[in-house]
Amino acid sequence: MIEYPRGSEWAKWDLHIHTPESIINGYGNSADVWEEFLTDLESLPEDFKVLGINDYLFLDGYERIKHEKEINGRLPNIKLILPVVEFRIQKFAGVEFRNTKRINMHVIFSDELNVETIKSQFLNALEQSYTLTPGLDPELWNGSITRKSLEDLGSKIKATVPKDQLSSYGSDLIEGFNNLNLNEKEILKVLKKRHYFEDKYLIAIGKTEWDLLQWSEGSISEKKNTINDAHLVFTSAESVEHYIKAKEKLKEQGVNYLLLDCSDAHTFSHNTRKKDRIGNCFNWIKANPTFEGLRQVVFEKFERIWIDEENPKKRYEKPFFRRSGLKLLMFSLIVVLNLVELYYR
């Protein structure tokens, strides 16, 4: 039995959705937040078929959704859910610490990989791949990257802050996360070194933060290498027009412009005041809803990507084209039959 008998079809792929488990999110912490989140995903328009569950450093959100779909039968409308881990890496786009923007690197894993394999062979192997924000004592903290260890780091940082300034700081977990920076070369080294991940991952760089890196004499090559070494570039466009401008700018800069629009959802779809909300995605991909389908997009570049509010297949379904095509087919058939008849006379 052929799994996709009709071949590749256009569908919406949103590869950047944060969950209520994400260290930074705007879903709130009510008792029924997960039920509301799952219901929101189940209410997406039928064109949405592939979702990337994207959380910082960990896989808790993906694990929960995977369980809900496979065990409890939730999200029947979604064909594929991919685990995506987001890191903030050691390239600073700003100067002042509190306003510093770090480059976001996303590792998109194949759904064929077991969660425990990603944890044991990748996440746990990153122990020596981090540094603390400049200005912090390296002896302040070291260890494996877990929620508990991040909270410990955040607590120690806040203990050094004057009491009258503590109100401007977040929770221990958030402050620990904000001060931890990963080395992208080490991330890639771990992925390439372990056979488990061969052809089972893709790298995406966040365009917004990358844009903020200065084009200074000493950083041009680093800035270009960061985006050119990635398979994909993520953006969260306010409109199709904004996406087109962003893509054209990347082309002008002579760098990787395989740009995908994603929601970067941190909140529910009904929160229309926020751009980064569930469902706010213009990204259409023509591929089987599989990780291999996504890899095919990377290899074939722009032939399988379309950015619009409307399904691109509708461009070819207008009655004019159907009638004209049918008339042409009938005319061609008549001509062929007449030629055959003349030949045998």
Joined together, the tokens standing for residue 127 give: 């122990």
Question: Would you say residue 293 has pLDDT above 80?
Answer: yes
pLDDT of residue 324: 46
Question: Would you say residue 108 has pLDDT above 70?
Answer: yes
Please provide the distance, in angstroms rounded to a whole number, between the alpha carbons at the two ends of the chain: 46
What's the average model confidence in pLDDT over 321-336? 53
Which residues have a Cβ under 8 Å from the Cβ of 61 and sit 6 or more positions away?
18, 19, 20, 21, 22, 53, 55
pLDDT of residue 83: 98
What top-level class would CATH report for the domain 10-126+183-310?
alpha beta
Dihedral sign for Cα 148, 153, 154, 160, please.
Answer: positive
* C-alpha–C-alpha distance, residues 258 and 207, integer Å: 11
pLDDT of residue 5: 47
pLDDT of residue 120: 94
* C-alpha–C-alpha distance, residues 219 and 197, integer Å: 30
β-strands 80-92, 48-56 pairing: parallel
pLDDT of residue 223: 87
pLDDT digits over 186-238, tens only? 899 999 999 999 999 999 999 998 988 877 765 788 889 999 999 999 999 99
pLDDT digits over 56-65, tens only? 999 999 999 9
CA angle 237, 238, 241 (to 5 degrees): 80
pLDDT of residue 321: 40
Q: Percent of the chain beyond pLDDT 70?
A: 83
Question: Would you say residue 161 has pLDDT above 90?
Answer: no
pLDDT digits over 12-66, tens only? 999 999 999 999 999 999 999 999 999 999 999 999 999 999 999 999 999 999 9
Question: Would you say residue 330 has pLDDT above 60?
Answer: no
pLDDT of residue 106: 98
Question: Would you say residue 289 has pLDDT above 90?
Answer: yes
pLDDT digits over 75-94, tens only? 999 999 999 999 998 765 54
Question: Would you say residue 314 has pLDDT above 80?
Answer: no
What is the b/e burial string over 107-144, where b = at least 16 CB atoms within 10 angstroms of the residue's CB?
bbbbeebeeeebeebbbebbeebbebeeebeeeebeee
| pTM of the predicted model as reported, rounded to 2 decimal places | 0.86
What's the average model confidence in pLDDT over 125-131? 75
Joined together, the tokens standing for residue 237 give: 């466009």
- pLDDT bracket for residue 331 (50, 70, 90): low
What's the average model confidence in pLDDT over 137-144? 72
* C-alpha–C-alpha distance, residues 184 and 190, integer Å: 10
Q: Range(s) for CATH 3.20.20 in the chain?
A: 10-126+183-310
Per mean pLDDT, which range of 117-131, 162-176, 201-215, 275-289 is the poorest?
Answer: 117-131
